Each structure stands twice: as structure tokens, then as C-alpha cells.
Amino acid sequence: MFNFIQKLIEKAASKKAKRKFKSPNSGKKAQKTFTSAGSFESTTQTQKTKAKLDNGMKIILKKFGTNPEMLLTFIQKSGTAVYKVPCANIFLKLIGYEEGFVIATKGLKSLYINTIIAAFAGKRIKFSLLTEPKFILSKKPIDQYFMIHQFYKWYAKKLNLPGFEPETQDALQKFLSSGDENVGELSMEEILELKEAIARDIESIDFIVDMAKNTDGSKNALKKMTDGGASV
């Protein structure tokens, strides 16, 4: 459990460092963020939605606890498919994704994901070059903190927080692998989208770390990790 949280802390620190890239208009304060609908949503509205997200997470976790299977049942009842695939982390890593919540995908990535699900999850699915968001997990016990981390991102997408569009997530993967050397080629709208994608992932990590800090029996162990590792 604590090894997973340590990895999250290091991941957040890395993303926060990379988030400080310079945009062509870095001297100007961005007043609004770009949304998937192509319109602009005020930063104030985004903050309100984030507050709703955190409050909703606390209510759900109070009702279902941190039991991964109960959370997965909630996800399925909410209309999101869940698939168990052997070595899911290996298959997903090949296309730049992580095990857990997988956003909507387009093109060859969708075809690849559908093929993996059909071949290894034993599910009959309709092959398409466009797939809906879903959970893809390995057939092994699920760490509760890992599950809450992924659940948080799923819930954020459900509340329509920006940053989960397929193109934005593809840009995020490229940015995290190559750094900010290609940022100058992006438009201001694309830069704002990229910042939102990074923000969503960091927020999910911060939620888990704060939760662990307030859990009896976890405080001292987590304090040792944060004191000896990255500061979030």
C-alpha cells in the first residue's frame, strides 16, 4: 500500500515540475480554461466542480468504504464497463496508458484495446475505431488506494472536468515522455487543455495523499515517506 502511495507522490512531484513549462503567452494570465465542448468555462466554475468532486468522493467512500470491488460495482451500475485482462498493465503500457480508468480512445488505439478485451477478457464486443471510457484491470487483487486513485479520475470525467479528451490525453502522453520541447508548436487552446490534463492527474494524487494522511495507522508511515521523498 505505502509503496503505491510513494510512487504517487513521486509522480505528482514530476508532473508538477513539468507543469511549469513556458507557453507563448506565459506572461499573460489565462482567465479561462478550454473545455471538450469547444467552449470556454470559467476557472471559477472549474473550482466549483472540483469542490463537488471532492465532496462526492467523500460521500461515496463513506457509503462504500475503500472496498475496490464495491467501487467497481458502483462504476458498472453507473454505465461504465469494467474488464479484467491478464497482464493489463503490460498491454496498456504499449500504447502509453496505465491500468485502471482508460479514457475514450480513437483510431488504432481503440482497435487495439477492443482486440485485447475480446482476446483476454472473454467478452464479445463490437469492434470500432471509437471506444467509450472504461476500466481495464489485471486479474489480481486490487490495492484500495490504487482503486480510489482511478475512481477519482473516473468521477472527474463524469462531472465533465476538462482534460480527459482523447486528443488532450495523447498530447499529455507525448509531453510527459518528451518534456516541453514541443510546447512551442501548440496553440494557446492546446496548451490550456494540456495544463488541465496534468491538473486532473495531480488532483487525483493529492486526494489520495490527503486521505492517507488522515487515516489512523497511516499518518506516521506516510510522514516518513514525504519527509524522505518528494513534497506534494
Residues 18, 12: Cα–Cα separation, whole Å:
10
How many domains does the chain contain in total? 1
205 backbone dihedrals φ, ψ, rounded to 5°: -70, -45
Lowest mean pLDDT among 26-40, 77-91, 93-107: 26-40
Q: Is 50 exceeded by the pLDDT of residue 34?
A: no
* Per-residue pLDDT tens over the stretch 101-142: 999 988 899 999 989 998 888 877 777 788 899 999 998 999
Q: 88 is written with which cell numbers? A: 493489463
Partnered with residue 52 across adjacent β-strands are: none
Give 152's contacts (C-beta < 8 A, 6+ positions apart). 53, 57, 203, 204, 207, 208
Asked whether residue 60 is assigned to any structural domain, the reply reads yes
Lowest mean pLDDT among 55-64, 190-199, 222-231: 222-231
How many CB atoms are located within 10 Å of the residue 216 CB?
A: 5
pLDDT value of residue 229: 39
Nearest partner of 21 among 169, 171, 232, 152, judged by Cα: 171
With bands split at pLDDT 50, 70 and 90, how would you rate the model's confidence at 216?
Answer: low
Beta carbons of 12 and 205 less than 8 angstroms apart: yes
**What separation in angstroms does the CA of 221 have from each of 5, 146, 224?**
11, 17, 5
Rg (CA), the chain: 18
Instruction: Tell me what the pLDDT averaged over the chain comes to.
Output: 78
With bands split at pLDDT 50, 70 and 90, how would you rate the model's confidence at 12?
Answer: low
165 backbone dihedrals φ, ψ, rounded to 5°: -70, 145
Asked whether residue 130 is assigned to any structural domain, the reply reads yes
H or E segment and range at residue 197: helix 188-213
Asked whether residue 232 is assigned to any structural domain, the reply reads no
Residues 162, 168: Cα–Cα separation, whole Å:
9
Residues 227, 65: Cα–Cα separation, whole Å:
28
Asked whether residue 162 is assigned to any structural domain, the reply reads yes
42 backbone dihedrals φ, ψ, rounded to 5°: -65, 150
pLDDT value of residue 125: 75
Q: 222 is written with which cell numbers? A: 506516510
**What separation in angstroms does the CA of 203 have from each of 26, 188, 220?**
22, 22, 22
For residue 160, give its domain range. 2-21+29-226
Please state whether the predicted TM-score (pTM) of the whole model is above 0.85: no
pLDDT value of residue 179: 59
Residues 31, 36: Cα–Cα separation, whole Å:
17
Asked whether residue 178 is assigned to any structural domain, the reply reads yes
Asked whether residue 231 is assigned to any structural domain, the reply reads no
Asked whether residue 133 is assigned to any structural domain, the reply reads yes
> Which tops the pLDDT comparison, 123 or 36?
123
* Per-residue pLDDT tens over the stretch 158-186: 999 999 988 888 888 777 766 555 666 67
pLDDT value of residue 74: 96
Asked whether residue 49 is assigned to any structural domain, the reply reads yes
Share above pLDDT 70 across residues of the chain, in percent, rounded to a whole number: 70
H or E segment and range at residue 34: strand 32-34
